[in-house]
Amino acid sequence: MLPVDPARFLEDLHALRRFGAAGVGKGVSRPGFSEADIAARDWLATRISEAGLRPHFDPVGSLFGLAEGRSLLMGSHSDSQPEGGWLDGALGVIAALEVARAAQEAGGPPVSVVSFEDEEGRFGVTTGSSVWAGNQTLEGADALHDPQGLSFAEARARFGARRQGFVDPTRFSGYVEMHIEQGPVLDTTGEKLGVVEAIVGIRDMHVTLTGQQNHAGTTPMHLRRDAFQALSAFNTALAERFANVVTPQTVWTIGHVALHPNAPSIVPGRARFSVQWRDGDAERLDRMETIIRDTLAEIATAHCMELGFGPMLGLDPVAMDAGLRSALEAAAEAEAPGRWRVMPSGALHDATNVARLMPVSMLFVPSIGGISHDFAEDTDEADLVTGLNTLARTVTALG
């Protein structure tokens, strides 16, 4: 097995944490294209050079550390949420650096490193890997704006003369991304590793139910067309109808609700809300969409509502490569016998985009309390090292 150095790995991980340190626990604030993000990437480029790899910034600020010849690509992202944790993305980048460095020191096999830019979506969703994989054009991305009105074109110009061309993806044999789970499953079961079988697909629908705004004192219950009551009835009916369709891995969420006029003394005349659902099976996502639309139509009729739909987001599930996955499974069993599982990724990752270009796979380590996107995000350092060793063992096995 490649002689990775856990102490050096943890030292680099803590060194990266100092860029944008929030001063609250181990939390960081290092959004894509911020001063802290660019400084962190400059530091990372130095560490890449010191490891014997060639640093390469692409046109959107994604930083590669290239091994010579054809190589396995490993990495994740080093930008963070505005109130983010120290491991979300950073873990996968620094683990990749340590594995690639150890491989250089051992004389192979060749491993390259990447830290994609703006995975956290200041300008969209997994923007850096999305442009690289051709899920969106550079011109299209340039027209995106962050919530403060900065354009993607202006943001990526901050990388100035660092930028070179896009890296040719055919130089890589595959992509392996380690990431914190960002959910409670491994922490709850006490398992140490999760080998991802698929990144779930997402459907995200915006719905409007329009009834009749009315005085909450003078309008009898039987004459009301109350949009909140219709929303609540839809929510209840949906759970009943999903019961025979979903698996324990399926999730659905009504996370956004806006009533109008949203006043205690007025019967709500309108409810806008989101319905989002995720599953590893594209057919199940479709069946759920049919149930949602049918249920909404019935509720709208029963409650005398007009029914409207906003734009719908749809991303299909992404299966992990069978060969990479079985190498990860064998390494997981060696490092944590009987204490790992195969599981879906409920969150999107850069691997979703990279799957368009090459075989991909992912490895999870536990998140304490399932907490992520929060300064409190953390993982036991022993678990981080178990993940590092699993990657090293996988690379050794893949040759």
List the binding residues. 77, 88, 120, 179, 373
User: Closest by alpha carbon to 31, among 96, 123, 94?
Assistant: 123
- In the bound state with its own copies, the residue whose beta carbon lies nearer, of 222 and 283, is 222
- In the bound state with its own copies, the residue whose beta carbon lies nearer, of 23 and 222, is 222
Residue numbers belonging to the annotated binding site for Zn(2+): 77, 88, 120, 179, 373
Name the minimum Å distance from CB 109 to its own copies: 32
Name the minimum Å distance from CB 160 to its own copies: 33
Q: Are 163 and 59 in contact (CB under 8 A)?
A: yes
Residues that bind its own copies (CB under 8 A): 181-185, 188, 200, 202, 204, 206, 214-223, 226, 228-229, 231-233, 235-236, 246, 248-259, 262-268, 274, 276, 278, 345-348, 370, 372-373
- In the bound state with its own copies, the residue whose beta carbon lies nearer, of 233 and 397, is 233
Measured CA to CA, the distance from residue 287 to residue 318 in angstroms comes to 18
- In the bound state with its own copies, the residue whose beta carbon lies nearer, of 69 and 220, is 220
Q: Collapsing DSSP states into helix, strand and coil, what is residue 258?
A: strand
Measured CA to CA, the distance from residue 127 to residue 119 in angstroms comes to 6
The CA distances from residue 188 to 180, 250, 367, 368, in Å, are 14, 18, 10, 9
Measured CA to CA, the distance from residue 193 to residue 341 in angstroms comes to 7
Q: Are 76 and 176 in contact (CB under 8 A)?
A: no
Name the minimum Å distance from CB 165 to its own copies: 33
- In the bound state with its own copies, the residue whose beta carbon lies nearer, of 122 and 156, is 122
Name the minimum Å distance from CB 144 to its own copies: 18
Return the exposure string of 141-155: e unless at least 16 CB atoms fall within 10 Å of the residue's CB, then b. bbebebeeeeebeeb
Q: How many CB atoms sit inside 10 A of residue 125's CB?
A: 18
Name the minimum Å distance from CB 272 to its own copies: 11
